């Protein structure tokens, strides 16, 4: 028994006419009759009642028609979905991202993936840069969005957005009251930063900002969570430096000062691997079109 036999049976069950059915399936009537007879023998049940004038379904035939149609439909769906997955138009896409990305472009990217590829499930993970490098290499994620990455040679990347850094202070911090010349005024402050193991790229950037101002940051609290860092700042436990976009939508008792005059910028980059290009090229092309690269 094969799918073509099932399809021929379904056609006959719908027309209840051997001549019409044979014309539709492009098969000689005697051959169709033999095929249906063999199907009945294989199943061990009579599917049609036949006489010189009429053809009708038996009770077993009515049931088998429903079952055969479901089988053919499921197989056709499986074939179609398999082709979509092969082309990167179905299945799932796993995306890693840093905090500032979800505050800016990521919601639009997810919305447009859903609109253009409704059969693709998006799996999102907030991750630091090092975690993204590891999981991209091990193919645990397909695409990464990192901030100021130092990208390993085995990965591909492209910078698509540049933001300014801001220094984040408690709402009533003394340095909010007057003007100051350069970043060196923060040399006596305590900082809240990720541990170097969790966010080395970001930490190196912040340290370079401080070193350019003539001091090394005194870090008293380590957290890789931006939300946690901002809460600690709000509580007066230190200050931190973030891309300006990371503060979007925040409603905390904090203030920030834009660091417009420093050379360091917060660069957002998309990362991917060879496997992404093989299995998810349509989605990768869509994302690159959205972020203009």
Least reliable range by pLDDT among 78-82, 138-142, 251-255 = 78-82
Token pair 């447009």: residue: 112
196/232 same-domain check? yes
Residue 81 has pLDDT above 80, yes or no: no
Using pLDDT thresholds of 50, 70 and 90, give the confidence band for residue 184: very high
Polymer length in residues for the chain: 293
Residue 90 has pLDDT above 70, yes or no: no
Is the C-alpha dihedral spanning 99, 207, 149, 129 positive or negative?
Answer: negative
Least reliable range by pLDDT among 47-51, 140-144, 177-181 = 177-181
| C-alpha distances out from residue 260 to 106, 163, 166, 244, Å | 25, 10, 8, 11
36/103 same-domain check? no
User: Do residues 133 and 267 lie in contact, with contact meaning Cβ atoms separated by under 8 Å?
Assistant: no
153/214 same-domain check? no
- The residue out of 25, 52, 87 marking a domain boundary is 87
58/101 same-domain check? no
Residue 10 has pLDDT above 80, yes or no: yes
Residue 178 has pLDDT above 90, yes or no: no
- The residue out of 55, 87, 119 marking a domain boundary is 87
Give me the CATH number covering residue 150.
3.40.190.10
How many domains are there within the chain?
A: 3
Token pair 């499921």: residue: 74
135/154 same-domain check? yes
184/123 same-domain check? no
Pick the closest to residue 148 from 95, 99, 103, 201 (CA basis). 201
d(CA 103, CA 154): 28
| Residue 213 tokens, joined | 């101002």
44/58 same-domain check? yes
Q: What is the pLDDT of residues 211-255, one digit of tens each?
A: 999 999 999 999 988 899 999 999 999 999 999 998 888 889 999
145/281 same-domain check? yes
177/226 same-domain check? yes
43/175 same-domain check? no
Cβ neighbours of residue 61 closer than 8 Å, sequence gap 6 or more = 13, 45, 46, 47, 48
Element (H, E) at 268: strand 266-272
pLDDT of residue 113: 93
Range of the domain at 248: 165-264
């Amino acid at each position: 028994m094969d799918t073509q036999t099932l399809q021929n049976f379904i056609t006959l069950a719908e027309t209840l006419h051997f001549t019409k059915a044979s014309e539709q399936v492009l098969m000689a009537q005697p051959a169709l009759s033999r095929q249906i007879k063999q199907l009945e023998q294989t199943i061990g049940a009579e599917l049609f009642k036949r006489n010189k004038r009429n053809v009708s379904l038996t009770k077993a035939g009515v049931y088998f028609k429903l079952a055969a149609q479901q089988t053919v439909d499921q197989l056709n769906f499986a074939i179609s979905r398999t082709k979509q997955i092969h082309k990167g138009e179905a299945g799932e896409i796993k995306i890693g991202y840093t905090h500032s990305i979800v505050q800016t472009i990521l919601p639009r990217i997810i919305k447009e993936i859903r609109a253009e590829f409704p059969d693709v499930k998006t799996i999102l993970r907030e991750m630091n840069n090092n975690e993204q490098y590891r999981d991209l290499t091990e193919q645990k994620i397909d695409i990464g969005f990192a901030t100021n990455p130092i990208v390993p040679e085995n990965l591909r990347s492209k910078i698509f957005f540049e933001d300014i850094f801001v220094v984040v202070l408690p709402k009533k911090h003394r340095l909010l009251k007057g003007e100051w010349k350069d970043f060196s005024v923060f040399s006596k402050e305590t900082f809240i930063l990720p541990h170097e193991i969790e966010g080395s790229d970001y930490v190196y950037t912040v340290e370079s900002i401080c070193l350019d101002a003539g001091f090394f940051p005194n870090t008293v609290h380590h957290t890789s969570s931006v939300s946690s860092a901002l809460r600690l700042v709000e509580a007066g436990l230190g200050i931190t430096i973030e891309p300006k976009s990371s503060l979007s939508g925040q409603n905390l008792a904090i203030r920030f000062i834009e660091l417009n005059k420093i050379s360091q910028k917060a660069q957002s980059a998309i990362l991917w691997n060879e496997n992404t290009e093989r299995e998810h090229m349509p989605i990768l092309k869509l994302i690159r079109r959205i972020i203009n690269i």
